[in-house]
Structure 1
Amino acid sequence: MKRPVFKEAKMMAGKKGMDRIVKWVHILEITHVAPYVSKDDLILSTGLWMKEQGSASITYLEQLIRQEASGLCIELGTTIDAIPEEIVAYCEAHHFPLIVFDKPVRFVKITQDIHGVLINQQHQRLKSLEQFSRLFQKLTLATTDISAVLRLLHEFTTRQVVYYSHVETNRFYPKTTPAQSHAITAVIGHHLDQTGSQLNEPVTIRLDEQQDLMLHPIICFDQTLAYIGTQHNRHQEATDTLVVMLDYAAQSIGTMLLRTLFKEEKIQRDQSQLILELMERRIHSEEEALARLGLRVRGKETYLFACGVLELLFGDPQIAQEQKESDFQDFVVLLRALIKKQGLYGLLAASGNRVYLLFAKDRINDHSYKNLENALERLSAELNDFAASRPQPIVLRTGVGRFRSHLLESDVSYREAMQAMEVARDVPAMQQTLFYDRMGIYQLLKAIPEGAFYTSFIDTHLGVLIAHDRDHSFRLIETLDAYFKCSGSKQDTANRLFIHRQTLYHRLGKLNEILGEDFFQPQRRICLEMALLMYHASR
Structure 2
Amino acid sequence: MLNENFTFTIKDVLKRPLFQDADVAAGHNGLLHPVQWVHILETPGGYSFLNGGELVLSTASGFGKDSRERLCYLRELIKKRAAGLCIELGSVIGEIPQDMIELAEQHDFPLIAFKKPVHFVNITMDLHETIMYRHIEAMRDLEKYSLDIQRLTLETQSIKKVLYNFHKFTNEQTFFINLDNSSLFIPEMSQSIEKDFVHSFKTSIPHTDISGQNKKTLSISEGEQILYQPIMAMGHALSYIGVILHDHDPDQFLYLSLDYTATSMAQILLRKMFAEERFIDNQHRILDDILQDKIKDKEHIQTLLGVKNKKDSPPSYLPIILEMKQGSDYYDQQTDSPFHDLIGIFRLVITRCGFRAFILSKGYRVYLLLIERDEGDNSDIRKKSKKVALELEKSCKKAFGAEVGIRLGIGRISCNYHQINLHFEEAEQMMRFPSESSTLLFDELGVYRLFIQNNTFALNSFINDYLGPILEYDAEHNSHLLLTLKVLLNSCSKQEAAEILYIRRQTLYQRLEKLKRMIGEDKFMPHNRLCLELAIHAYEWLNKPIH
Q: Which TM-score applies when normalising by structure 1?
A: 0.53
- Rg: which structure is higher? 1
Return the match for 2:251 from 236, 239, 254. 239
Return the match for 1:121 from 134, 137, 143. 134
Q: 1:506 matched to which residue of 2?
A: none
Q: 2:58 matched to which residue of 1?
A: 45
Q: 2:117 matched to which residue of 1?
A: 104
| In 1, Cα distance between equivalents of 2:352 and 2:72 | 65
Q: 1:217 matched to which residue of 2?
A: 230
How big is the shift at 1:351?
6.4
| In 2, Cα distance between equivalents of 1:313 and 1:24 | 64
Identity %: 28
How big is the shift at 1:216?
0.7
Give the 3-state SS of the residue equivalent to 2:35 in structure 1. coil
Aligned ranges for residues 441-480 of structure 1 at < 5 Å? Answer: none
How big is the shift at 1:193?
5.0
Return the match for 1:266 from 278, 301, 317. 278
1:256 aligns with 2:268: yes
| In 2, Cα distance between equivalents of 1:79 and 1:328 | 67
Give the 3-state SS of the residue equivalent to 2:44 in structure 1. coil
How big is the shift at 1:56?
1.4
Q: 2:150 matched to which residue of 1?
A: 137
Aligned ranges for residues 109-188 of structure 1 at < 5 Å? Answer: 109-188=122-201
How big is the shift at 1:52?
4.6
Q: Which amino acid is 1:219 matched to?
A: M
Give the 3-state SS of the residue equivalent to 2:117 in structure 1. coil
Aligned ranges for residues 96-495 of structure 1 at < 5 Å? Answer: 96-192=109-205, 194-195=207-208, 197-233=210-246, 235-269=247-281, 272-273=284-285, 308=304, 314=316, 326=350, 330-332=354-356, 353=369, 386-387=374-375, 392=380
| In 1, Cα distance between equivalents of 2:118 and 2:353 | 72
| In 1, Cα distance between equivalents of 2:94 and 2:417 | 97
Give the 3-state SS of the residue equivalent to 2:262 in structure 1. helix
Q: Which amino acid is 2:173 matched to?
A: Q
Q: Is the 8 A contact 1:328 1:353 kept in 2?
A: no
Q: Which TM-score applies when normalising by structure 2?
A: 0.53
Q: Is the 8 A contact 2:218 2:225 kept in 1?
A: yes
| In 1, Cα distance between equivalents of 2:141 and 2:159 | 21
How big is the shift at 1:75?
1.6
Q: Which amino acid is 2:262 matched to?
A: A
1:69 aligns with 2:93: no
Residue by residue over 1:181-219, the C-alpha shift from the partner in whole angstroms, topping out at 9 and shown as x without a partner, is 111111121123554644321111123445321111111
Q: Is the 8 A contact 1:310 1:421 kept in 2?
A: no
Q: Which amino acid is 2:275 matched to?
A: K
Distance of aligned partners of 1:229 and 1:276 in 2 relative to their CA distance in 1, 3 Å threshold:
same
Q: 1:492 matched to which residue of 2?
A: none
Give the 3-state SS of the residue equivalent to 1:237 in structure 2. coil
Q: Which amino acid is 2:36 matched to?
A: K
Q: Is the 8 A contact 1:205 1:213 kept in 2?
A: yes
Q: Is the 8 A contact 2:211 2:235 kept in 1?
A: no
Distance of aligned partners of 1:178 and 1:391 in 2 relative to their CA distance in 1, 3 Å threshold:
farther
Distance of aligned partners of 1:354 and 1:94 in 2 relative to their CA distance in 1, 3 Å threshold:
closer
Q: Which amino acid is 1:115 matched to?
A: H
How big is the shift at 1:15?
2.0
| In 2, Cα distance between equivalents of 1:309 and 1:247 | 40
1:88 aligns with 2:104: no
| In 2, Cα distance between equivalents of 1:85 and 1:329 | 61
Q: 2:17 matched to which residue of 1?
A: 4
How big is the shift at 1:251?
0.2
Q: Is the 8 A contact 1:387 1:393 kept in 2?
A: no
Q: Is the 8 A contact 2:172 2:243 kept in 1?
A: yes
Aligned residues: 328
| In 1, Cα distance between equivalents of 2:240 and 2:171 | 19
Q: Is the 8 A contact 1:309 1:421 kept in 2?
A: no
Residue by residue over 1:67-122, the C-alpha shift from the partner in whole angstroms, topping out at 9 and shown as x without a partner, is 11111112233654444333334333433222122222111110111111111111
Q: Which amino acid is 2:271 matched to?
A: R
| In 1, Cα distance between equivalents of 2:93 and 2:380 | 79
Q: Is the 8 A contact 1:192 1:199 kept in 2?
A: no
Return the match for 2:68 from 55, 59, 63. 55
| In 1, Cα distance between equivalents of 2:196 and 2:244 | 13
Q: Which amino acid is 1:22 matched to?
A: V
Give the 3-state SS of the residue equivalent to 1:95 in structure 2. coil
Higher mean C-alpha displacement, 97-106 vs 112-121 = 97-106
How big is the shift at 1:180?
1.1
Distance of aligned partners of 1:102 and 1:269 in 2 relative to their CA distance in 1, 3 Å threshold:
same
How big is the shift at 1:137?
0.6
Q: Is the 8 A contact 1:218 1:253 kept in 2?
A: yes
Distance of aligned partners of 1:252 and 1:71 in 2 relative to their CA distance in 1, 3 Å threshold:
same
Give the 3-state SS of the residue equivalent to 2:248 in structure 1. coil
Q: Is the 8 A contact 1:133 1:248 kept in 2?
A: yes
Distance of aligned partners of 1:165 and 1:390 in 2 relative to their CA distance in 1, 3 Å threshold:
farther
Q: Is the 8 A contact 1:10 1:99 kept in 2?
A: yes
Q: Is the 8 A contact 1:75 1:101 kept in 2?
A: yes
Give the 3-state SS of the residue equivalent to 1:207 in structure 2. strand
Distance of aligned partners of 1:75 and 1:279 in 2 relative to their CA distance in 1, 3 Å threshold:
closer
Residue by residue over 1:266-309, the C-alpha shift from the partner in whole angstroms, topping out at 9 and shown as x without a partner, is 332355348968999x9xxxxxxxxxxxxxxxxxxxxxxx9635
Q: 1:520 matched to which residue of 2?
A: none
Q: RMSD value over aligned CA atoms? A: 4.0
How big is the shift at 1:392?
3.6
Distance of aligned partners of 1:328 and 1:162 in 2 relative to their CA distance in 1, 3 Å threshold:
closer
Q: Which amino acid is 1:251 matched to?
A: T
Gaps of 5+ in 1: 283-305, 336-349, 356-382, 395-419, 424-539
Distance of aligned partners of 1:9 and 1:223 in 2 relative to their CA distance in 1, 3 Å threshold:
same
Give the 3-state SS of the residue equivalent to 2:188 in structure 1. coil
| In 2, Cα distance between equivalents of 1:51 and 1:207 | 39
Q: Which amino acid is 1:250 matched to?
A: A
Q: Is the 8 A contact 2:88 2:118 kept in 1?
A: yes
How big is the shift at 1:16?
2.4
Give the 3-state SS of the residue equivalent to 1:140 in structure 2. helix
Q: Which amino acid is 1:272 matched to?
A: H
Q: Which amino acid is 1:49 matched to?
A: G
Give the 3-state SS of the residue equivalent to 2:112 in structure 1. strand
How big is the shift at 1:327?
7.4
Q: Is the 8 A contact 2:26 2:109 kept in 1?
A: yes
